[in-house]
């Protein structure tokens, strides 16, 4: 049986160690991508997860890879193999899924772009674990048990590391990151809708700086 290569695990670990905070970015207008992400980077993040929740995600990945070579640019909300192929072609440096399917897990084994699979249960974790995955997104974290669930996972899966996303807030990020099996946390609080709508990029930079200082 094919299992995950050391190359893929090393790349995912590099992403998760690059920044304790991973902004989960949904773009409602193509012109938002560059100023928004520059504001995030100025604040101190080094990993950008661009979701495919709108049609602007894919072209933004191409744009950001060229404009911001010093940071990791990845694709989130990837739900199928065809989307996975599309973000590969766009230049994404990592892929994040909200959940797992056998097809996505298998595709991730041989893709040039490493996969951080999303799980919410032990059974889903075991699907990925059997193929060699040891780094997972925990989503939706807050409604799936939060810190208590991650502590429970650590018992039978002491070699697994997580990036919790979904319901994580500025005032709870520090508590998640205090867990030994959490490498980074993701969230949308770093890109407040009001600030994005007003193009108040300075407010976003300050939100990132403040959130990092709170850790």
**Domains of the chain with CATH codes:** 6-214 (3.20.20.70)
Could you say which DSSP state residue 165 is in? B
CA distance linking residue 125 with residue 54, whole number of Å: 28
Query: Which of 70, 97, 89 lies closest to 12, judged by CA?
Result: 97
Cβ atoms of 128 and 117 closer than 8 Å: yes
Residue with tokens 């990092």: 212
Q: What digits encode the pLDDT tens for the residues 71-113?
A: 999 999 999 999 999 999 999 999 999 999 999 999 999 999 9
Q: Is 80 exceeded by the pLDDT of residue 1?
A: no
Residue with tokens 């990132």: 208
pLDDT at position 2 is: 78
CA distance linking residue 133 with residue 203, whole number of Å: 37
Q: What digits encode the pLDDT tens for the residues 180-195?
A: 999 999 999 999 999 9
Q: How confident is the model at residue 208 (pLDDT cuts 50, 70, 90)?
A: very high
Q: Is 90 exceeded by the pLDDT of residue 54?
A: yes
* Nearby residues of 158 by Cβ (< 8 Å), 6 or more positions away: 181
Cβ atoms of 78 and 87 closer than 8 Å: yes
CA distance linking residue 121 with residue 81, whole number of Å: 22
- Beta strands of 149-194 (E only): which ranges? 161-164, 185-187
Q: How confident is the model at residue 47 (pLDDT cuts 50, 70, 90)?
A: very high
Any idea which residues carry the catalytic annotation? 49, 137
pTM: 0.96
Q: Is 80 exceeded by the pLDDT of residue 158?
A: yes
Q: How confident is the model at residue 3 (pLDDT cuts 50, 70, 90)?
A: confident
């Amino acid at each position: 049986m094919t299992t995950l290569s050391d190359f893929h695990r090393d790349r995912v670990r590099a992403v998760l160690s690059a920044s304790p905070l991973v902004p989960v970015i949904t773009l409602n207008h193509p012109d938002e991508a560059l100023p928004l992400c520059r504001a995030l980077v100025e604040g101190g993040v080094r990993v950008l997860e661009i979701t495919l929740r709108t049609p602007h995600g894919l072209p933004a990945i191409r744009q950001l890879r060229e404009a911001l070579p010093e940071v990791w640019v990845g694709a989130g909300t990837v739900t199928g193999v065809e989307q996975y192929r599309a973000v590969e072609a766009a230049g994404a440096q990592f892929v994040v899924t909200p959940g797992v399917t056998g097809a996505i897990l298998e595709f991730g084994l041989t893709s040039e772009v490493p996969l951080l699979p999303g799980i919410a249960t032990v059974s889903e974790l075991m699907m990925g674990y059997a193929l060699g995955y040891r780094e997972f997104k925990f989503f939706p974290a807050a409604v799936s048990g939060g810190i208590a669930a991650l502590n429970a996972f650590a018992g039978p899966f002491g070699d697994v590391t997580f990036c919790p996303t979904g319901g994580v807030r500025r005032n709870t990020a520090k508590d998640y990151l205090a867990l030994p099996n959490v490498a980074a946390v993701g969230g949308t609080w770093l890109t407040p809708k009001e600030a994005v709508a007003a193009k108040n990029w300075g407010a976003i930079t300050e939100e990132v700086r403040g959130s990092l200082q709170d850790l």
